[in-house]
Structures are given as structure tokens and as C-alpha cells.
């Protein structure tokens, strides 16, 4: 089966051919005809199997008749709305929409929090047909009357289980209440629990269920390695694994933001090129870090689960779980960052003895036994690693000689100190004259305050010892003697 047999628009087929894809993945082959037929779809597939293209391609094909180059915003109403739980996933979906719709005169746009809302406002008011958004920022634009959702025909909830788990249910209901012209709803995710399916029944009408693998299954192309290790030894074991496996590029997942920063600092001290991304970092720095990692100029990306959903890093060879996630479904999403599009990958997890509960829940979820593989020198009960071999005497002598030369070179440098009361020597380029700073001038004696000689003001001790009447007599003019009475 090829994409040309699925009934996609010619402009979309050209864009797919430009990306180099020829055959659809199983979920694309099943979901695309259903979406083109107007059915509501509940799609579940393993991470990295092309869920984004499974709804992007048919949506663009259905909107192709509405494509136009008119300048009026009225000719470009929002017709398709894609909601995602995180900013990174929203940006990833937006990139796919742009790539597959580049031959169509449709206007896509993405809005999410963490950036200035004014830049998004201007684009929304100019008109967009395909809008990718996070629920919170979309409601901000609705309240400011920057966007009208009354003509939305297709609604997509990407990573729907995560949005509902993160507490977006009230926001989603508010948004759905604004979609008065909604005709089709699609829910796609890598994991679907029975509770999520029951809740999703409120939004979908007679949905077609598309499952290309059993629920919550992991990718068979990903080799899963779990090593027992106490928490305080994990940074050293992580550095050891990066060197021993020669990891050219790896994502290291942590549960908390503080933990991600701590691991990143430890790796930087070890000489590794790494950066951390999490919710406390501003959106611009997060996007710049992701772009560096996608371009291959950054070796290690330390992240929380904010980066576990929807990131498509081509040929990412390694993923490391520095800590097991509290939610076992997040484990499926984490290791799904590697082994994408049929490639091979390795997922390594460092398991502390206190993480026995999430370890058991993960095995129960994926219905697969994951044995713990001890690492000598790092896992409990193993012998410490032998110290590295000592260099030969000739190598030690050469190293000591270089050290002595370096110390001698430093001792030959003139020690120039410039203090306030010290001698400052300056050398002129032409005459090589030596100047000596002038000594500091002595402080002038304090000038006493002068007062007129005709004022005879008594001192304070004298005033304090005299009665009040005598003190007043010193300052008041003398009384004239009374005239004698006749």
C-alpha cells in the first residue's frame, strides 16, 4: 500500500513525496481513510509510528478546497483545531502541518504560553485555517476576542490521555462549547486506559477504534536495559554509561525540575556538553536548546516529562531514565523517543532499591518482565572497579617535567601589584622611564569654626550648672530701671 491509494489530495501527496516517505505506517493506513470519510476516530498506537501524520494528512486534504490566497481574514476562518498538552508537542505538530501543507494556500499557526501574546494576536486576526494550540493560551485568545472558533469543523485532541490527566478537562469542555459547527472529533495517543476511553466517549460520536498494537505496548525496536543503582551513585553510573556506550546523543529523563538541574550540573562538571529543559525555563531558551539538540550540536538533553510527549528526534540512539516515572504510562512515552520510524534504539533505566513500586507497575502495564542487570562497581553487592592502570615511569617523568616547566614559567612572570599606597611602576614605550607614584598628600588640619568676638556665649558646662533664671539673664537684654514715682 502507498499513500497514493489512500485518497489524499495531490498537493498533499507532493509534500509527502518531498519528505521521502512512500508507504504509510499501520496506523496511517487505517486512520486516514476513516478521517477522510468523516468518521470520529479514537486512535492508539506505539510512540514513533506516525500518529501525527495520521490526522494531519487527511485534514489538509479535506481543507484543500478551501485554500485561497485572499487577503481578507474572513476568507481564512479557523476550520481545524488541534489541541496538545505541552508547548513542545504543539510546536512539533505545527512543523508537520507546515511541511505537509506547503503546496496548499492554507494558513497554519501555533499558539502556546510562555511567549508574548501580542505576536500571536496579529497572526490570528489576519486569519488562519489550521490552528495548533495548548488549551490555556487558546482560552486567553478567546477571551481577548482574537480568534473565532464558531466555524471549526474538525477537532483533534493529540495525546488526549495526557491532557485529561493534567487537568485540562474543564478547559477542553469550554473550548468544545465554542465549536458550534464541529462535525468531526479525533483523539490520538500512544496510551489509552479504560477510564480515558470512557471519558472520551463524551466527546466522540460513534467513533472508529484504531489500534495497531495492544494497549500500552512498547516498541519492539527499543532494547530496554535496567540497572540497579543507589541514588547517590547514579550520577557516576550515568557518566560511566555515556562513556562506555559512546553515546553521541541521549535524552536523560528526571521526575523533578530540581533533579534535572542537578544532573545537568553534575554532567557539566564531568566535561559533558549538556543542557536541561523543564517548565521553569522560559520558552525561548527551551526552544533554542531543543533546536541545538535536533541539529546534533548538543550531546545530552536532561529533561522532565515535559519533553517526553511528541518530540521527534530523528535517529536518536539512546534514552536514559535517571529516575523511574511515577506514572507507568510515562515510561512508554519516554522510551518512545528512540527507535522511531523503524530504527533501532536503546532505553536504559537506573533503578534505586526504593523504586520497587514504580518498577513493578511498569512491568504490569507493558505486560513484560524487565530483569535488572547489575553493573560492576556501581550496583549494590558488586565489587568496585579496579583503578585505571598507572602510567609507565617514563610517562610519569615526562608529565612531571611538563609540570615543573609550567611552574617555572609562572614564577618568571613579574608580579605587578597596584595598590593605593604602594609604588606603581610604569614603563614608557619609547624612553623606558620609570615613574613613582607621588605620596598621598597629608590631610589638612581641621579648620575651627569662627564666630564674632562681640558674642560672649557661655559654654555648655557653664550653662548646665547655672539656674534657669541666670541662664536667661545671659541672653536677654538687661531691664531698664523703673522710673521713680513722684
Rounded distance between C-alpha atoms, residue 108 and residue 78, angstroms: 9
More confident residue, 134 or 479: 134
CA-to-CA separations, 201 to 31, 41, 152, 462, in angstroms, rounded: 18, 11, 20, 100
Number of H helices, E strands in the chain: 17, 13
Strand pairing report for 250-253 and 222-228: unpaired
- Domains of the chain, CATH where assigned: 3-211 (3.40.50.300), 222-366 (3.40.50.300)
Q: How far is CA 31 from the centre of its chain?
A: 31
Q: Identify the bridge partners of residue 319 per DSSP, sorted by sequence position.
A: 251, 347
Q: Which pLDDT score, from 0 to 100, does residue 416 have?
A: 44
Over residues 440-459, mean pLDDT: 53
Strand pairing report for 208-211 and 41-44: parallel
- Please provide the DSSP assignment of 108-174 as one string: EEEE-SSS-HHHHHHHHHH--SEEEE-HHHHHHHHHTT----TT--EEEEETHHHHHHTT-HHHHHH
468 — pLDDT class (breaks 50, 70, 90): low
Dihedral sign for Cα atoms in the order 340, 346, 352, 358 = positive
39-68 tens-digit pLDDT:
999 887 666 678 889 999 999 999 999 999
Do residues 234 and 242 make contact, with C-beta atoms less than 8 angstroms apart?
Answer: no
- Give the least confident one: 18-27, 188-197, 261-270: 188-197
Strands (E), 50-100: 80-83
Q: To which residue does cell 460513534 refer? A: 206
Q: Which pLDDT score, from 0 to 100, does residue 395 have?
A: 58
More confident residue, 390 or 182: 182
More confident residue, 339 or 42: 42
306 — pLDDT class (breaks 50, 70, 90): low
Rounded distance between C-alpha atoms, residue 204 and residue 187, angstroms: 8
Nearest to 351 by CA among 324, 376, 390: 324
Kindly state the cell numbers that stand for 147. Answer: 480568534
**Cβ-Cβ contacts under 8 Å for 181 (sequence gap 6 or more):** 150, 151, 152, 153
CA-to-CA separations, 396 to 365, 403, 404, 410, in angstroms, rounded: 55, 10, 12, 21
Fill in the DSSP letter of residue 273. Answer: -
431 — pLDDT class (breaks 50, 70, 90): very low
Rounded distance between C-alpha atoms, residue 218 and residue 366, angstroms: 7
Amino acid at each position: 500500500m502507498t499513500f497514493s491509494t489512500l485518497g489524499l489530495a495531490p498537493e498533499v501527496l507532493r509534500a509527502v513525496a518531498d519528505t521521502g516517505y512512500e508507504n504509510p505506517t499501520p496506523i496511517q493506513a487505517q486512520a486516514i481513510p476513516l478521517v477522510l470519510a468523516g468518521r470520529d476516530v479514537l486512535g492508539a498506537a506505539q510512540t514513533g509510528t506516525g500518529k501525527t501524520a495520521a490526522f494531519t494528512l487527511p485534514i489538509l486534504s479535506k481543507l484543500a478546497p478551501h485554500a485561497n490566497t485572499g487577503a481578507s481574514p474572513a476568507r481564512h476562518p479557523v476550520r481545524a483545531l488541534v489541541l496538545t498538552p505541552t508547548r513542545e508537542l504543539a510546536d512539533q505538530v505545527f512543523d508537520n502541518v507546515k511541511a505537509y501543507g506547503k503546496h496548499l494556500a492554507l494558513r497554519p499557526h501555533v499558539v502556546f504560553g510562555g511567549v508574548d501574546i501580542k505576536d500571536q494576536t496579529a497572526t490570528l486576526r489576519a486569519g488562519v485555517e489550521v490552528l495548533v494550540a495548548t488549551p490555556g493560551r487558546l482560552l486567553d485568545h478567546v477571551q481577548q476576542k482574537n480568534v473565532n472558533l464558531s466555524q471549526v469543523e474538525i477537532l483533534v485532541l493529540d495525546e488526549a490521555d495526557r491532557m485529561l490527566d493534567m487537568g485540562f478537562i474543564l478547559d477542553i469542555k469550554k473550548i468544545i462549547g465554542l465549536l458550534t459547527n464541529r462535525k468531526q472529533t479525533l483523539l490520538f495517543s500512544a496510551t489509552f486506559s479504560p477510564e480515558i476511553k470512557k471519558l472520551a466517549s463524551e466527546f466522540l460520536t460513534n467513533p472508529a477504534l484504531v489500534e495497531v498494537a495492544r494497549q500500552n505496548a512498547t516498541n519492539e525496536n527499543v532494547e530496554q536495559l535496567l540497572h540497579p543503582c543507589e541514588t547517590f551513585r547514579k550520577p557516576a553510573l550515568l557518566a560511566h554509561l555515556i562513556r562506555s556506550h559512546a553515546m553521541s546523543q541521549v535524552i536523560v529523563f528526571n521526575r523533578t525540575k530540581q533533579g534535572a538541574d542537578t544532573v545537568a550540573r553534575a554532567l557539566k562538571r564531568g566535561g559533558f556538553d549538556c543542557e536541561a529543559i523543564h517548565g521553569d525555563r522560559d520558552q525561548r531558551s527551551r526552544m533554542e536548546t531543543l533546536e541545538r539538540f535536533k541539529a546534533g550540536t548538543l550531546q545530552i538533553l536532561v529533561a522532565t516529562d515535559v519533553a517526553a510527549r511528541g518530540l521527534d528526534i530523528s535517529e536518536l540512539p539512546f534514552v536514559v531514565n535517571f529516575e523511574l516515572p511515577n506514572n507507568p504510562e510515562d515510561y512508554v512515552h519516554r522510551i518512545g523517543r528512540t527507535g522511531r520510524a523503524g530504527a533501532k534504539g536503546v532505553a536504559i533505566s537506573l533503578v534505586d532499591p526504593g523504586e520497587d513500586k514504580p518498577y513493578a507497575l511498569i512491568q504490569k502495564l507493558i505486560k513484560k518482565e524487565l530483569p535488572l542487570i547489575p553493573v560492576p562497581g556501581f550496583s549494590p553487592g558488586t565489587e568496585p572497579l579496579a583503578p585505571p592502570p598507572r602510567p609507565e615511569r617514563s610517562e610519569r617523568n615526562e608529565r612531571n617535567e611538563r609540570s615543573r616547566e609550567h611552574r617555572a614559567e609562572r614564577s618568571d612572570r613579574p608580579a605587578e601589584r597596584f595598590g593605593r599606597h604602594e609604588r606603581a611602576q610604569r614603563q614608557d614605550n619609547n624612553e623606558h622611564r620609570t615613574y613613582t607614584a607621588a605620596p598621598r598628600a597629608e590631610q589638612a588640619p581641621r579648620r575651627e569654626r569662627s564666630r564674632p568676638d562681640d558674642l560672649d556665649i557661655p559654654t555648655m558646662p557653664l550653662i548646665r550648672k547655672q539656674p534657669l533664671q541666670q541662664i536667661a539673664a545671659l541672653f536677654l537684654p538687661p531691664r531698664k530701671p523703673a522710673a521713680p514715682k513722684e
